[in-house]
Structure 1
Amino acid sequence: MSDRIREKLQILADAAKYDVSCSSSGSNRKNKDKGLGNTGSGICHSYTEDGRCVSLLKILFSNVCIYDCAYCVSRRSNDVKRAAFTVQEVVDLTMNFYRRNYIEGLFLSSGIFRSADYTMERMLQVVKKLRLEENFNGYIHLKAIPGASPEIITEAGLYVDRMSINLEMPTEAGLQKFAPEKTHAEVQKDLGIVRDRLIQFKDERKMIRSVPAFVPAGQTTQMVVGAHSESDQDIILMADRHYKEFNLKRVYYSGYIPINEQEKALPAIGSAPPLLRENRLYQSDWLMRFYGFEATELVDEKHPNLDLDVDPKLGWALRHPEQFPVDLNRADYRMILRVPGIGVRSAKKIVQARRFGKIHIDQLKRMGVAYNRAQHFIRCADTPKFIKEQLPGQIRSQILQSGQSKYVQQLSPQLGFAF
């Protein structure tokens, strides 16, 4: 590797670290014609301490940008060293790193230089060369450029596994304050293009077997958290809307990292990224996607922000004492899932096991249930009939004092949770 390529890599890999939406699960692209790489059922992940994925070659095509977003390190007014790869340089880096087993795939994003179409065309050339000339069947995640033409976005979707388009800020007010040259409407238009093409290709595949795959791992988006004064309710409702409207695979929440000292409206340089808040948002996201919770159950006008001391599932349970205790020998699967300390796997084991007999406390512990947490909200066959009822405040204090909530705070926000 030449010194110049090494310098570019250092600059553009460092600039890409602020983008967290690089999960690579969900694709099943197979190796063919003795090509290089195979996504199989997904990519092996490793995560940094704050939960960001580092398993892919994660770079910007260029950090030159025509926009001046206040929260972005690559904003045009920032005095940073600029660099840009050529199409062939990105292809060569990807292939060389893959052959050396440094990476499992490519995550490619870029600042917007000249225009959205010009930038997107260069990124399209990269993925086409990898697929068609290098016969690369490994994982590719492409960060689409908002405002690019539908034709370019559609063509790119034929060569990548996952595509993402960032909302940037959770609210239009925050976007107008810190990135007035961008709009949510433009991003939503592009998300709609990918959604509609996914539906179109899926319908065509029912009739024609040779229809090519289009973004097989789906699309995602990302929001910066903590740069503006939005509430958790604003963030969660925005995420919920986009899950339902655009059929997203993931919404990523990126705790704002102070990078622009001259922007006085942003949090100070000395302040730490809101990682605990980011973690609670991921937990809420998990509850909506896998536990059957509605967004309005987790946050509302009375509780617009998540409790940082307890996870959102426990918070909901403490706010709804009328729903408990849950009789594990009679309750349906949906209600068992809502018990703090019982995860999806444990809930399925409980429903399966009670077909053969009553559920007892010792069984729960063997199933992996966090009994010290769950005991306040359940009844089993051998639960004492006369047990002193505790108020929600007493339960909360007892759990916090026993340290049972700390295990959630230590989890990576992009891994699974067992609430």
Structure 2
Amino acid sequence: MLDIDKIRADFPILKREVNGKPLVYFDNAATSQTPQVVIDAIVDYYSNYNANIHRGVHTLSQEATDKYEEARLKIQKHFNAKKSYEIIFTSGTTHSINIVATGFSSLLKKGDEVIVSALEHHSNIVPWQMLCERTGAILKVIPMNQDGELVMNEYDKLLSDKTKIVFVNHISNALGTINPIEEIIEKAHKVGAAVLIDGAQACPHIKPDVQALNADFYVASAHKIYGPTGVGILYGKEEWLNKLPPYQGGGEMIKEVTFEKTTYADLPHKFEAGTPNICGGIAFGAAIDYANSIGFENIQEREKELLDYATEKLLEIDGLKIYGTSKNKTSVISFNIEGIHPYDIGTIVDKLGIAVRTGHHCAQPIMDFYKIPGTVRASFSFYNTKEEIDSLVEAVKKAKMMLS
């Protein structure tokens, strides 16, 4: 059993009030909160060894370089990448996806096909649409059903020898659906296609093993995993990262520069042009350490308990409908109340100190499928409580009474 009071004490922001009420933070799918140990890592960097990395011979530079590369090793171990240089530091999931999508411009030709799922965040749709516009490749979509699950027999029909890359999220940010990525990857590989998995929503809940999954690319953001904003990772198999051209040119990613020709550095530096978010990378490593100290089995058990409790209590409200009812889902509940706009509900519950997300959650095709403008999304982390869920339920009831 987790000591929830002790865990909540790790997160300073959970002590604050909003609109005179204790903060209830149910917007974890947008960004998780940050424990003190991660905040301390940020302060320690800027207080004690703030310097640029890799190129300096002075002590501060060497200390910063060591800490930054130690973080890369922590992340490699966490995701079980085969080599540390298969972990590329980026500014986040969107940046990571764009590196791959832009790189595939040199690998695709007109008539090639790429496959996306209907459950994607915009960041895993738009870069591939741009890729298709540049190359003449064709974008195909795995459809979804009313439960918010992918229709896998339709995926089978989409696959062919023209398929060059498949990209799906591990978990839907809008609905919480956990996709069958093992099956998706295996089937894609049978037709010779690469696979990119958007793990932004999965990583707070699941400890991905990229070798066991056999994913070609896996991307994630630190701020979803109790870390800072502005940093993330691209995992790529060594052979695939070597096939892709650099995404940006500049310092750090070069081996030799003359005005006649430039040669590029080896992995991972080939994709890490310019001064990186050094502090962010180090803090990402600290966040990974913190999450593993809690234990992902414990996190999953706790969040499943919260999800089940919240689902039961919210469904007691007349007229409330939950979108995303897959049996295999994580701690996200998207809902509406008949006849009431989700924004109005979100505004009222905020006045009561409760943070939820409203809108299409950067997943507009999902909302179009359900023919709705958006949803209220409550997303839970292991540091939340059933008492907080009770507060949400009462707030939604109050909003319904005021708005009906």
TM-score, with length taken from structure 2: 0.26
Q: Which has the larger radius of gyration?
A: 1
TM-score normalised over the length of structure 1: 0.25
Q: Which gives a bigger RCO, structure 1 or 2 (Cα 8 Å, sep 6+)?
A: 2
Bigger proportion of residues as strand: 2
